[in-house]
């Protein structure tokens, strides 16, 4: 039997951020369970990327992992260009238009998921209070009044020999499910979810844009859904003909039938479709990676807390990727939960009292569910606004976009939302010098 204060299931970006945030403010003993291996960094660029806003960057800075991330292909962008393929509407955002204090140099960063996870994992490995369990998956969880009990499967989950030393059960004060959209923890606890099929599939890939990304995030709304070109950074080009500012990650959200048609095209024809869809604004595009497709579904847990189990990140909510805010919501969940659990603890004191307060966890749940619901509602509204409609509606939509593009107060508010700088942020989401 092994005893810990907190058991985190899922050592992805959100779970690792929670572990580091808990240790930054306390002496809590953390167990991390995840059998997914960490991807070693090489010159190959991962098609799975995240748009990291300023609030999330502040979290990484305060956890001392940002320098490592920034030195490994973190592409900053200062501009966003959004336009309506079916009309005349457009929106242009710039970091220079931000009214935040202190002023921000960037709107955000596009970073490969493997780069972020690798940096967080390395930092967590240095902390003697964080213990990794990577050989076996969990088999069951049960809870009592003051503790939670978790057992492991006894067959090895690694690619090594199937004969392995059994992992003893874990007793913890709290279990956190940070194990993704199909959360095993959520299923074990029968925590109710609200589901809605977006009727969209996302196609992701890496492409070359010969006119360069210009440190800009590009997004065009097509009749079938949004297509985003997210700027990527290459630390060293393996192709002398490819500029380090020519690569973009695409997220093409479209109907299932259209996604099937597009992925069946050969690389040249697919690239031609992207060039036409983007009005040639990035040049004659070419495909530089495999294409991956996955269905888009809205998920929202009815409650993020049940007994001594908490859900965060995609285990608690998933949203449409058109604004790139999914991972940022999850990182704020992690920072908020760490703040909730450690608010009354002293960093250098041994944990001798009960630190799990169900009333405070319920308040955390309301806090984070409110923000997730707000984001889900906003994404649904944007998706609906750009759905195929009759010409008069398209005209009004274009007029509205152009008015908004020239109305400074509303534009400043949208920029603040993109930066992630809003009221009621966890303390870790503020700059170091403001803490």
pLDDT tens digits for range 30-43: 999 999 999 889 88
Confidence at residue 385, expressed as pLDDT on a 0 to 100 scale: 63
Pairing of strands 79-84, 90-94: antiparallel
Give 96's contacts (C-beta < 8 A, 6+ positions apart). 78
- 185 lies in a domain? yes
pLDDT tens, position by position, 347-399: 766 676 788 998 999 999 999 999 999 988 887 777 666 666 545 555 566 66
Across 226-233, average pLDDT: 94
- 248 lies in a domain? no
SS3 320: coil
pLDDT tens, position by position, 326-352: 899 999 999 999 999 999 887 766 676
| Per-residue burial over 158-176, b = 16 or more CB atoms within 10 Å of its CB, e = otherwise | eeeeeeeeebeebbbbbbb
pLDDT-derived band at 88 (thresholds 50, 70, 90) equals confident
Assess whether pLDDT exceeds 70 at residue 324.
yes
Which residue from 12, 20, 106 is spatially nearest to 55, judged by alpha carbons? 106
- 403 lies in a domain? no
Which residue from 314, 275, 270 is spatially nearest to 113, judged by alpha carbons? 314
Count CB neighbours of 243 within 10 A: 15
What pTM was computed for the model?
A: 0.91
- 375 lies in a domain? yes
Residue 186 · residue 311 · CB < 8 Å: yes
Both ends of the chain: CA-CA distance in Å? 39
Number of structural domains (the chain) is: 1
Strands (E) in 145-190, as ranges, are 148-152, 170-177
406 upstream amide cis, omega within 30 of 0: no
Which CATH number fits the domain that encloses residue 379?
3.50.50.60
pLDDT-derived band at 132 (thresholds 50, 70, 90) equals very high
- 114 lies in a domain? yes
Say which DSSP state 66 is in. H
Assess whether pLDDT exceeds 90 at residue 104.
no
Rg (CA), the chain: 22
Q: What is the mean pLDDT of the chain?
A: 88
| Per-residue burial over 118-133, b = 16 or more CB atoms within 10 Å of its CB, e = otherwise | bbbbebbeeeeebbeb
Confidence at residue 399, expressed as pLDDT on a 0 to 100 scale: 66
pLDDT-derived band at 164 (thresholds 50, 70, 90) equals low
Across 151-156, average pLDDT: 81
Give 411's contacts (C-beta < 8 A, 6+ positions apart). 93, 97, 404, 405
pLDDT above 90 covers a percentage of the chain that reads 66
CA angle 154, 155, 161 (to 5 degrees): 130
Cα 248 to Cα 76, 204, 286, 343, distances in angstroms: 12, 10, 10, 41
Tokens read off for 335: 């920072």
Tokens read off for 78: 């200062």
Give 134's contacts (C-beta < 8 A, 6+ positions apart). 33, 34, 35, 37, 158
- 210 lies in a domain? no
Residue 250 · residue 204 · CB < 8 Å: yes
Which residue from 215, 201, 205 is spatially nearest to 282, judged by alpha carbons? 215
Q: CA-to-CA distance for 206 and 45, rounded, in angstroms?
A: 8
Residue 28 · residue 347 · CB < 8 Å: no
Q: Find the DSSP H helices in 135-255.
A: 184-188
pLDDT-derived band at 107 (thresholds 50, 70, 90) equals very high
> Which DSSP helix (H) or strand (E) runs through 333?
helix 326-342
- 99 lies in a domain? no
Assess whether pLDDT exceeds 80 at residue 161.
no
Q: CA-to-CA distance for 206 and 87, rounded, in angstroms?
A: 27
Q: Which residue has the tokens 């985190």?
A: 8
Which residue from 325, 335, 312 is spatially nearest to 62, judged by alpha carbons? 335
List the domain range (segments joined by +) for residue 379: 2-74+108-194+297-388+424-434
Cα 249 to Cα 12, 20, 147, 228, distances in angstroms: 21, 29, 44, 8
Residue 97 · residue 415 · CB < 8 Å: yes
- 415 lies in a domain? no
Which residues pair with residue 131 across a beta bridge?
A: 31
Which residue from 78, 76, 69, 74 is spatially nearest to 111, judged by alpha carbons? 74
Q: CA-to-CA distance for 369 and 305, rounded, in angstroms?
A: 10
């Amino acid at each position: 039997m092994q005893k810990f204060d907190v058991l985190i299931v899922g050592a992805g970006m959100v779970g690792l951020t929670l572990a580091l945030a808990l240790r930054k403010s306390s002496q809590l003993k953390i167990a991390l369970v995840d059998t997914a291996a960490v991807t070693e960094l090489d010159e190959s660029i991962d098609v799975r990327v995240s748009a990291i806003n300023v609030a999330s960057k502040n979290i990484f800075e305060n956890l001392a992992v940002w320098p490592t991330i920034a030195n490994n292909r973190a592409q900053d962008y200062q501009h966003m260009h959004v336009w309506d393929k079916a009309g005349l509407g457009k929106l242009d955002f710039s970091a220079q238009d931000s009214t935040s204090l202190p002023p921000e140099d960037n709107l955000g960063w596009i970073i490969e998921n493997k780069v972020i996870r690798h940096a967080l994992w390395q930092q967590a490995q240095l902390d003697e209070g964080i213990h990794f369990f990577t050989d076996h998956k969990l088999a069951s969880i049960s809870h009592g009044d003051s503790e939670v009990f978790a057992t492991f499967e006894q067959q090895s989950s690694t690619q090594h020999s199937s004969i392995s030393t059994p992992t003893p059960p874990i007793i913890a004060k709290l279990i956190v499910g940070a194990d993704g959209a199909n959360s095993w923890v959520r299923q074990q606890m029968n925590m109710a979810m609200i589901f809605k099929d977006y009727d969209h599939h996302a196609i992701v890939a890496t492409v070359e844009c010969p006119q360069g990304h210009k440190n800009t995030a590009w997004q065009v709304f097509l009749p079938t859904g949004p297509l985003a070109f997210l700027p990527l950074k290459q630390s060293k080009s393996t192709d002398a003909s490819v500029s380090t500012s020519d690569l973009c990650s695409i997220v093409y959200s479209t109907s299932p039938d259209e996604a099937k048609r597009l992925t069946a095209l050969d690389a040249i024809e697919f690239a031609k479709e992207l060039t036409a869809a983007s009005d040639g604004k990035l040049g004659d595009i070419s495909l530089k990676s495999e294409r991956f497709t996955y269905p888009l579904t809205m998920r929202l847990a009815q409650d993020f807390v049940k007994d001594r189990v908490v859900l965060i990140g995609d285990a608690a909510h998933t949203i449409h990727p058109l604004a790139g805010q999914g991972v940022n919501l999850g990182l704020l969940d992690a920072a908020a939960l760490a703040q909730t659990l450690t608010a009354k603890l002293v960093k250098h004191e041994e944990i001798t009292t009960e630190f799990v307060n169900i009333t405070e966890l319920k308040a955390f749940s309301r806090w984070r569910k409110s923000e997730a619901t707000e984001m889900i509602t906003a994404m649904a509204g944007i998706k609906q606004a750009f759905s195929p409609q009759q010409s008069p509606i398209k005209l009004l939509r274009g007029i509205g976009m152009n008015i908004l593009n020239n109305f400074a107060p509303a534009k400043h508010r949208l920029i603040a939302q993109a930066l992630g700088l809003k009221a009621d942020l966890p303390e870790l989401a503020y700059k170091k010098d403001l803490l």
